[in-house]
Amino acid sequence: MTQQFGGLTAVSDFNVRLKNNRIAGLIGPNGAGKTTVFNLVSGFYQPTRGTISVCGKPTAGLKPHKVTALGVARTFQNIRLWNQMSVLDNIKVAQHGWLDYGFFQSVMRTRAYRDCEERIDREAKDLLEIFELENYANDYPTNLPYGLQRKLEIVRALSEKPKLLLLDEPAAGLNSKDMRELIRLVRWINETYDLCIWIIDHHMDVMMELCSEIKVIDFGQTIAEGTPDEVRNDPAVITAYLGDDNI
Amino acid sequence: MFDDFNLIQNLINALQWGSFYALIALGYTMVYGVLVLINFAHGDVFMVGAYIAFFVASFVLSVLGLPGWAAFIITIPATMILTSMVGVSLERIAYRPLRRKGAHRLYVVITALMCGLILEHANLAIFGASRKAFPPLIEEHVYHLGGVTFTNLKIIVICAAIMSFLTLQWIVTKTKVGMAMRAISYDKFAVPLMGIPIDQIIVTTFILGSGFAGLAGVLFAMSYPILEPYMGALIGWKAFIAAVVGGIGDIRGAFLGGFLLGAVEILVVAFFPSSYRDLIAFSVLLVILSLKPTGLFGIAKTTKI
Amino acid sequence: MLRKYSVQLILIALGGIITYIAYQELVSLYILTVLMFMGVNIILSSSLNLVNGYMGEFSCGHAGFMCVGAYVSSVLGVLLFTKDKIFGAPLLNPDLAVYLFPVIIIIGGIAAALFGLLVALPSYKTRGDYLAIITLAANYIIISLIQNMDIIGGSRGFMGMKKVISNMEDVVYLPWMVIWVFVFTVGSIWILRRYVSSVFGKGVSAICQDEVAAEIMSVNTNKIKTITFMLSSGLAGIAGGLFAYIVGYVNPGSFNILKSTEALVMVYLGGMASLSGSVLSAILFTILLELLRPLQIIKWVVIPLILIVLMQFRPEGIMGNRELSDIFPKLKRFYRFK
Ligand SMILES: Nc1ncnc2c1ncn2[C@@H]1O[C@H](COP(=O)(O)OP(=O)(O)O)[C@@H](O)[C@H]1O
Ligand SMILES: [Mg+2]
């Protein structure tokens, strides 16, 4: 697929097949177009050319919330939680795609409404408990430590029951302790849930440890792909990261 | 209906009518560009301008006993200065303290709305509901040119609007304060780095904006010499819409939007009963905004995530 | 048990008392009218708060939707139940008015909700100040539309609603207007509260706080916006219908920007995204308007002045974005506000 903004080709001829239960990585220098790839996959942009399918279903023309319903959930490079809403509500509102009721039922408080609210409440609380956030359930996200905000964003994405989880620089700004925690968390999610994870990050150690395959892009072009070790030793990658004159 | 429709005649009328909108829209757009504030009191500042012009002109004519042309020459700068003082006072008394406290910008907008109400009704309370007749300052000459009728007054209005625009364009492209004004609408944080205190830029903005509203007030009073406290409300709202259609924050946009609105209204009146004027004018604007949501000159902001 | 239903019981008692007072004419008609205006203002401010407070948009044309509701239900009532100079004989038996009155008020609300689409559809693409203009333009468009409809009086206005009310009173003698204003006011708050406290309705706050995140986190933002704008304008329409029948006369001029400004003032006075704040501020504002009535025109200097001063010292409004139960936690035992 290809994405252009005006004259700028942010991503060109990008091709990828992600396999289930695997962790894939996407790296590249700043401005390479990594986030753009995620934006395309999550339906925030429509590709200028090319197609995207999730579990065999094409996402062309779908609004992002529909793409999410197909099974793509993501986090953001800059944390985008709803900051005037409790942690619990952050999870609950992310269940909009799984509501069994609409406006009239919410006003009439029908059986369907009550069952659905109850289910969402229970699931959200369970999820917070699994990820040890239950003590913060009624706090506002801004009052959480930074590392937990990152974690909450991942939990919120996970609460969408995705088949593909996109993590955009989850380790950005974390200290090394939080980073170890993150690696453990992602591993655990990968082992526990039946989904595929795709990570963007600049921390090579994180990527090396987690990913089974990595793709490298620069100026929108795919310049290398393969296992972490292959990628690490690829001359094109070294050039992209360090600049030409180092060779 | 087409028989008595004369394109050039209507064009002149539209330019004159649009001049008022353009002059007022300039003030809206400049304040918005700098403060991201919809200064809802601006229409009433225009009204105050017209009243100031009335008092200055009456004073010069009857107390000083000067002839009309002299009154005209004195009234215009005097009104512009006095009106800008009104505008600056609004900013100092009402908006700045709120800004300092970091209040939500919508609260500043509401405060502006309230200031407008105060100006209107204080005027009503002080001078009563009776309308004021503006004294004629210059002798109105009517010219006929191949079926087109126009007056020297109309020409003055149009020229004044165009000159204001050129002056303003010069200020924002050539002077330091003006450039800072433009810079601030792109990047709030970079401007203090340019070495100009932000309050100075804001005050300059209000001086310019209110000054042009005052000018519009004089010219309006001369063209339609009946003053009443609510005269600023509707024309102000419409000028605001004109500014938005042009792309709020952009001076060319305000100017163009003003003339566009003037043209639409004159055209509507040429073909429909005049009671349809507001209806059709607003519907046209609604359509323009639906097609081009950020106005003619506004740059669509892309959300990056 | 008693505790669970305490709010309902209090409301029923309150409604009963007000009805009794009105029925026995224990207070003057003036006070009753003020009370009814209070109800109308409560509906107005809380419905506008849905858009301006909860959704974070800046709608400044609320009176336009009120106008639609007022005219639709007035014309409908007069057309159906009274003999009118223009519309001729009543289409239905005038006695039916007593049953159908709430229906015509609701129809007015539905019509206003449809006009709400005028704002809802552009809101898919625009936000903030540009949308504010659209609401403003919608207000003007609605008013000029009615000014140009001579059949319903144009800018002269429309009357005859008092006859509908007296028809109702002829069938069963009760203070019908007081009753219906009370019912619709309570109903509006009830609907709004249930809407914003459901997970579905919290999507509105999500849009306010981060629309991009909301859309990507599976919130159908366009749908929520449509529902929210339509609900808000629909309730404004209901308020308009009640207003028309209380006054007995409507003209387009009473729904101009000044009226919209009043609604805005009530919302910001009460605090954004606080229903109890809106209710409280609507009550206070109505009383304030009446207390200052002797000042005549100066009233409109004093009220804005009070507000400006208030904004300087308490810019977040009376309640901030909290509810009564956040300030008095004990209330939670009786009622869950959120
Ligand atoms: N909405 C947009 N409009 C225009 N240009 C964009 C947009 N989004 C991203 N870009 C540009 O595309 C390029 C890639 O951006 P991005 O995908 O965010 O890079 P990164 O790899 O650091 O995540 C950058 O040059 C950026 O400026
Ligand atoms: Mg990025």
Contact partners, residue B302, CB within 8 Å, separation at least 6: A5
Average pLDDT of chain C to the nearest whole number: 90
pLDDT greater at residue B147 or residue C258: C258
Average pLDDT over residues B291-303: 76
* Separation between Cα atoms, residue C215 and residue A46, nearest integer Å: 15
Contact partners, residue B41, CB within 8 Å, separation at least 6: B90, B112, B113, B115, B116, B119
Average pLDDT over residues B118-123: 92
Identify whether the C-beta of residue A195 lies closer than 8 Å to the C-beta of residue A188. no
Best of A5, A14, A75, A216 for a ligand 1 pocket test (most atoms within 8 Å of beta carbon): A5
For residue A81, what pLDDT band results from cuts at 50, 70 and 90? Answer: very high
Distance of CA C197 to the CA centre of its chain: 19
Q: Is residue A40 within 6 Å of ligand 1 at its C-beta? A: no
pLDDT, tens digit, 9 for 90 and up, residues C258-299: 899 999 999 988 888 899 999 999 999 999 999 998 888 888
* Separation between Cα atoms, residue A80 and residue C213, nearest integer Å: 6
Residue closest via CA to ligand 1's atom 26 equals A31
pLDDT of C337 higher than 50 = no
Percentage of residues in chain A having pLDDT higher than 70? 93
Helix (H) or strand (E) holding C50: none
Identify whether the C-beta of residue B218 lies closer than 8 Å to the C-beta of residue B58. no
Give me the amino acid identity at A163: K
pLDDT, tens digit, 9 for 90 and up, residues B67-86: 888 889 999 999 999 999 99
* Separation between Cα atoms, residue B116 and residue B87, nearest integer Å: 11
For residue C88, what pLDDT band results from cuts at 50, 70 and 90? Answer: confident
Q: Which two tokens stand for residue C329?
A: 């936690």
Q: Which two tokens stand for residue A199?
A: 């990570």
CATH number of the domain that C177 lies in?
Answer: 1.10.3470
Q: Which residues of A touch B104 (CB under 8 A)?
A: none
pLDDT greater at residue B299 or residue C225: C225
Q: Which of A45, A75, A77, A107 to mutate to test the interface with C (most CBs of C within 10 A)?
A: A107
pLDDT of C26 higher than 90 = no
Q: CA angle, corner B231, sides to B229 and B236, nearest 5? A: 120
Contact partners, residue B2, CB within 8 Å, separation at least 6: none
C-alpha closest to that of C33 among C20, C23, C22: C22
* Separation between Cα atoms, residue C125 and residue C130, nearest integer Å: 10
pLDDT, tens digit, 9 for 90 and up, residues B223-235: 998 898 888 988 9
Distance of CA B114 to the CA centre of its chain: 19
Q: Would you state the pLDDT for residue C51?
A: 96
Q: Angle at which helices B68-90 and B42-58 pack, to 10 degrees? A: 140
Using CB atoms, pick whichever of C219, C227, C231 lies closest to residue A96. C219
The CA B275 to ligand 1 mean position distance, Å, reads 50
Nearest chain A residue (CA) to C210: A82
Average pLDDT over residues C45-51: 96
pLDDT, tens digit, 9 for 90 and up, residues A163-221: 999 999 999 889 989 999 999 999 999 999 989 999 999 888 888 889 998 989 888 88
Q: Which of C212, C217, C274 to mutate to test the interface with A (most CBs of A within 10 A)?
A: C217
Average pLDDT over residues B199-212: 92
- Segment of A168-172, B145-149, C319-323 carrying the highest mean pLDDT: A168-172
Percentage of residues in chain B having pLDDT higher than 70? 95
Q: Which chains touch A (3 or more CB pairs under 8 A)?
A: B, C
For residue B180, what pLDDT band results from cuts at 50, 70 and 90? Answer: confident
Helices marked H in chain B: 7-35, 42-58, 68-90, 96-100, 105-127, 152-174, 176-186, 198-223, 231-246, 251-271, 277-291
Average pLDDT over residues A96-113: 92
pLDDT of C56 higher than 80 = yes
* Separation between Cα atoms, residue A110 and residue A62, nearest integer Å: 30
pLDDT, tens digit, 9 for 90 and up, residues A107-161: 999 999 999 999 999 999 999 999 999 999 999 999 999 999 999 999 999 999 9
Using CB atoms, pick whichever of C297, C299, C308 lies closest to residue B114. C308
For residue C239, what pLDDT band results from cuts at 50, 70 and 90? Answer: very high
- C216 to A68: CB separation less than 8 angstroms, yes or no: yes
pLDDT of A247 higher than 50 = no
* Separation between Cα atoms, residue C287 and residue A106, nearest integer Å: 34
Query: Is residue C311 assigned to a domain?
Result: no
* Separation between Cα atoms, residue B58 and residue B38, nearest integer Å: 33
CA distances from C239 to B139, C44, C67 (A): 53, 6, 9
Q: Is residue A46 within 6 Å of ligand 1 at its C-beta? A: no
For residue C130, what pLDDT band results from cuts at 50, 70 and 90? Answer: confident
Q: Would you state the pLDDT for residue A104?
A: 94
Q: Which chains touch C (3 or more CB pairs under 8 A)?
A: A, B
CATH number belonging to domain A3-84+154-242: 3.40.50.300
pLDDT of C335 higher than 60 = no
Q: Would you state the pLDDT for residue A243?
A: 57
C-alpha closest to that of A72 among C215, B302, C225, C221: C215
- C212 to A89: CB separation less than 8 angstroms, yes or no: no
> Which ligand sits closest to the CA of A26?
1
* Separation between Cα atoms, residue C198 and residue C312, nearest integer Å: 34
pLDDT, tens digit, 9 for 90 and up, residues C159-169: 989 999 998 98
> Which ligand sits closest to the CA of A77?
2
Q: Is residue A33 within 6 Å of ligand 1 at its C-beta? A: yes
Q: Would you state the pLDDT for residue B35?
A: 85
Best of A8, A198, A222 for a ligand 1 pocket test (most atoms within 8 Å of beta carbon): A8
Q: Would you state the pLDDT for residue A6?
A: 53
- B107 to C126: CB separation less than 8 angstroms, yes or no: no
Q: Would you state the pLDDT for residue A2?
A: 62
Could you tell me which residues are beta bridge partners of residue A5? A8
* Separation between Cα atoms, residue B115 and residue B47, nearest integer Å: 13
Burial label, C191 (beta-carbon count in 10 A; 0-12, 13-18, 19+): buried
* Separation between Cα atoms, residue B239 and residue B218, nearest integer Å: 16
- The distance of C202 to chain A (nearest Cα, Å) reads 7
Query: Is residue C316 assigned to a domain?
Result: no
Query: Is residue C293 assigned to a domain?
Result: no
Identify whether the C-beta of residue C297 lies closer than 8 Å to the C-beta of residue B121. yes
Q: Is residue A36 within 6 Å of ligand 1 at its C-beta? A: yes
Query: Is residue C277 assigned to a domain?
Result: no
Residue closest via CA to ligand 1's atom 23 equals A35
Q: Would you state the pLDDT for residue C203?
A: 96
Q: CA angle, corner C221, sides to A46 and C52, nearest 5? A: 135
- The distance of B291 to chain A (nearest Cα, Å) reads 19
pLDDT of B91 higher than 70 = yes
* Separation between Cα atoms, residue B69 and residue B137, nearest integer Å: 6
Nearest chain B residue (CA) to A36: B305
Residue closest via CA to ligand 1's atom 3 equals A5
Percentage of residues in chain A having pLDDT higher than 90? 56
Q: Would you state the pLDDT for residue C90?
A: 84
Q: Provide DSSP, B210-257.
A: HHHHHHHHHHHHHHS-EE-TTHHHHHHHHHHHHHHHH-TT-HHHHHHH
* Separation between Cα atoms, residue C19 and residue B8, nearest integer Å: 66
Its domain, for residue C216, covers 6-259
Q: Is residue A220 within 6 Å of ligand 1 at its C-beta? A: no
C-alpha closest to that of C49 among C175, C177, C231, C172: C231
Identify whether the C-beta of residue A147 lies closer than 8 Å to the C-beta of residue A184. no
- The distance of A247 to chain B (nearest Cα, Å) reads 34
Provide the 3-class DSSP secondary structure of residue C18: helix
- The answer, for A81 touching chain C at a CB cutoff of 8 Å, is yes
Q: Which residues of B touch C143 (CB under 8 A)?
A: 278
Q: Would you state the pLDDT for residue C27?
A: 87
Using CB atoms, pick whichever of C209, C214, C227 lies closest to residue A103. C227
Nearest chain A residue (CA) to C187: A107
Q: Report chain A's terminal Cα–Cα distance, integer Å.
A: 31
Residue closest via CA to ligand 1's atom 4 equals A5
Using CB atoms, pick whichever of A73, A82, A157 lies closest to residue C209. A82
Identify whether the C-beta of residue C308 lies closer than 8 Å to the C-beta of residue B94. yes
For residue B65, what pLDDT band results from cuts at 50, 70 and 90? Answer: confident
Contact partners, residue C309, CB within 8 Å, separation at least 6: none
C-alpha closest to that of B204 among B91, B46, B37, B44: B91
Provide the 3-class DSSP secondary structure of residue A213: strand
CA distances from C240 to A31, B45, C67, C254 (A): 54, 32, 6, 10
pLDDT of A226 higher than 60 = yes
Contact partners, residue C302, CB within 8 Å, separation at least 6: C292, C295
Q: Which of C301, C303, C307, C318 to mutate to test the interface with B (most CBs of B within 10 A)?
A: C301
Q: Which chains touch B (3 or more CB pairs under 8 A)?
A: A, C
Query: Is residue C301 assigned to a domain?
Result: no
pLDDT of A5 higher than 70 = no
Using CB atoms, pick whichever of C200, C219, C222 lies closest to residue A106. C200
Return the minimum-mean-pLDDT range out of A1-15, A215-229, B31-45, B162-176. A1-15
C-alpha closest to that of C263 among C111, C54, C65: C65
C-alpha closest to that of C108 among C239, C231, C252: C239
Q: Which residues of C touch A89 (CB under 8 A)?
A: 202
Average pLDDT over residues C69-77: 95
Q: Is residue A141 within 6 Å of ligand 1 at its C-beta? A: no
- The residue count of chain B comes to 305
Q: Which two tokens stand for residue B278?
A: 């507001």
Average pLDDT of chain B to the nearest whole number: 87
Domain ranges of chain A: 3-84+154-242, 85-139
What's the total number of domains in chain C?
A: 1
Query: Is residue C327 assigned to a domain?
Result: no
The CA A77 to ligand 2 mean position distance, Å, reads 6
Average pLDDT of chain A to the nearest whole number: 88
- C307 to B110: CB separation less than 8 angstroms, yes or no: yes
Helices marked H in C198-298: 199-209, 211-216, 221-247, 257-270, 275-291
Q: Is residue B101 within 6 Å of ligand 1 at its C-beta? A: no
pLDDT greater at residue C92 or residue A34: A34
